[in-house]
Amino acid sequence: MTVLDTPRANASPAFVDNDPGFVAAINAWLTDVSMPERATLDPEECLRWIEQGLVNVVIADLKMPGVDGVTFLERVHQINSGVTLLLLSGYAPEGEERARLDRIGAQFLSKLEDMSRLAEFLRAPNPTANSGDLLTLRTRLGILEELHQEWVSDLKEHLGEMPNPESAWIAGGEKNFNVAQLIADLNSLSPRGIEHIRLWKNAMRSLRSMGRRV
Amino acid sequence: MKATLRNVVGWLSGARRITVLFIPCGEFGDEDPVPAFQAIFRGIRLGHCTGVTVDAATLHLRESLALDGEKRSERTLVVFGHPAAELNGVRVNPGLKANNSVLLHRWWDEGERYCDLFVAHVCDGARVLSRELWSKLFPEWVSFRGEIYSFTASVRGQDRWAMVMKDMLNDLPMRKSARSAAAALKGIYLRSLATTWDGLDAAGGDALNVMYFQRCVEQMEHSNE
């Protein structure tokens, strides 16, 4: 039994992550469904939300600017011990870090393996939940699923036609990656995968606005 | 001699001249996109543009221009490079005389000579250029917030970016403000997106550049915002 197996009422999550693409993707969906943008690169901003009682689930990255995810979640716990704490990262914490997470009841989620479980957790049905927030959140996650179904297979089909995806490099700032890695990102719905789904969807919207059939 | 010939051709064409700076970074090795853009630039051959490569840090922009046969920058500067980690300048390979790895604002300062328009194809370039010292130096700039991507690892990918670069460098001499330059550049990226889609070559990586042109439109910022 983990925290993900327990349905929540009125889930109002905040995301803190050091990846601007991930933050932008989550905020884009929040905006799509007229919810406040509560994904941020700035841990201090998230702490202010906690102090104001605006969120009751915090999903934080392990690596963040100025503070590590474990220390950040400890600060959240000090402010409000009732907030559900989730550490979402590609790297599993070990030893002392793991012990610190256990002390505050925080759950570790793997970015590669637990994204769909997180989605399930946030939208889990609960007989006591009747708030607009939860409804809207379900809608947001529905959009995520729709994006996944509608766009990913389309994009992967195009990328699948490329020969030697391991040797085809994409320049992206300091995070160059090859096409094979991008396909894996799309399969796992990693932040980079999500950002590319968002870009594909927006590019198709642009094409439609220019009269193209997509 | 070659530079002189280019100047004459550019002058005869009546177009405002552009200096295009390429600032690669050795840390990225073969995956650095800047040399790819440099090769694309060489292929499109535009008389009103002068390409200058800053392979290693120098004491001043003038020094790099002189090394490349140019005496001073033109009033429109276009830069292809990488941001410094501290977002205080453009990353550069350390040189023999100048052992720094960042081209700070003073490197670019040409005193009384001012730059009408500065276009930085640099990830997070907007965060560098919106700093006080930089915005005084380059009051009219267009760049990007966050990372921008490009796929040039195929002939088709290079061809797509050659189309963008050519359109951009032909259009910029007509622009008198960052606002109009940004609007024009967004139009160029969108047109490239549509053209690429119309003849989509999936094996050549067109799906990637369709997304990356879209991202350039979304991430673009300018000094008049």
Considering its fold, how many domains does chain B have in total? Answer: 1
Residue B191 domain-assigned (yes or no): yes
Selected from 3.40.50.2300, 3.30.360.10, 2.40.37.10, 2.30.30.700, the CATH number assigned to the domain covering A3-133 reads 3.40.50.2300
Distances (CA, A) of A196 to A64, B153, B215: 22, 18, 10
Is B225 contained in some domain? no
Which of A131-135, A173-177, B102-106 is modeled with the greatest confidence?
Answer: B102-106
Asked if the model's pLDDT at residue A213 lies above 90, the reply is no
Task: At A200, list the tokens.
Answer: 């594909």
Contact partners, residue B62, CB within 8 Å, separation at least 6: B71, B72, B110
**Which residue segment(s) compose the domain that B199 sits in?**
2-220
Q: Is residue B163 part of a domain?
A: yes
pLDDT digits (tens, 9 = 90+) for B193-215: 999 999 999 999 999 999 999 99
pTM for this one? 0.69
DSSP state of B30: G
Residues in chain A closer than 8 A to B82 (CB atoms): 173-174
- Residue A109: per-residue pLDDT: 76
Stronger pLDDT, A26 or B144, i.e. the higher one = B144
> Which of the pair, B147 or A124, is modelled with greater confidence?
B147
Alpha carbon of residue A87 to chain centroid: 11
Digit-coded pLDDT (tens) for A190-199: 778 878 887 8
| A134, A136, A140, A146 alpha-carbon torsion, rounded to 10° | 100
pLDDT digits (tens, 9 = 90+) for B54-70: 999 999 999 999 887 77
Whole-angstrom Cα distance, residue B114 to residue B92? 23
Residue A3, pLDDT > 50, answer no
Q: How far apart are CA B58 and CA B70, in angstroms?
A: 15
- Facing residue for B203 by CB, picked from A162, A167, A170: A162
* Residue B25 located in a structural domain: yes
Looking at the partner chain, which of A159, A176, A212 has a beta carbon nearest the beta carbon of B28?
Answer: A176
CB-nearest to A203 from B146, B152, B210 is B210
As a whole number of angstroms, the distance between CA A158 and CA A119 comes to: 27
Cβ neighbours of residue B182 closer than 8 Å, sequence gap 6 or more: B142, B220, B221, B222, B224
Contacts of A164 in chain B (CB under 8 A): none
The pLDDT assigned to A65 comes to 74
- Output the average pLDDT for chain A: 75
A146 closest CA partner among A37, A38, A36, A33: A33
Residue B35 CB contacts under 8 Å (≥ 6 apart), including other chains: B22, B24
Question: Between the ranges A140-144, A164-168, B152-156, where is the mean pLDDT highest?
Answer: B152-156
For residue B17, the 8-state DSSP code is: P
Chain A residues with a Cβ under 8 Å from any Cβ in chain B: 20-21, 24, 155, 157-159, 161-163, 167-176, 179, 182, 196, 199-200, 202-203, 206-207, 210, 212, 214
Let me know if residue B34 belongs to a domain.
Answer: yes
Under the phi-then-psi rule, with left for phi > 0, alpha for psi from -120 to 50, and beta for the rest, what region is B24? Answer: beta
> Per the CB < 8 Å rule, is B147 touching A214?
no
User: Does residue B138 register a pLDDT over 80?
Assistant: yes
> In this structure, which amino acid lies at residue A158?
H
What is the β-pairing status of strands A57-60 and A63-64? unpaired
Is the pLDDT at A113 greater than 70? The verdict is no
Q: How is chain A split into domains, by residue range?
A: 3-133, 143-209
Residue A72 pLDDT greater than 80, yes or no: yes
- DSSP 3-state of A152: helix
- CA–CA separation, B96 vs B87, rounded Å? 23
pLDDT at A91 over 90: no
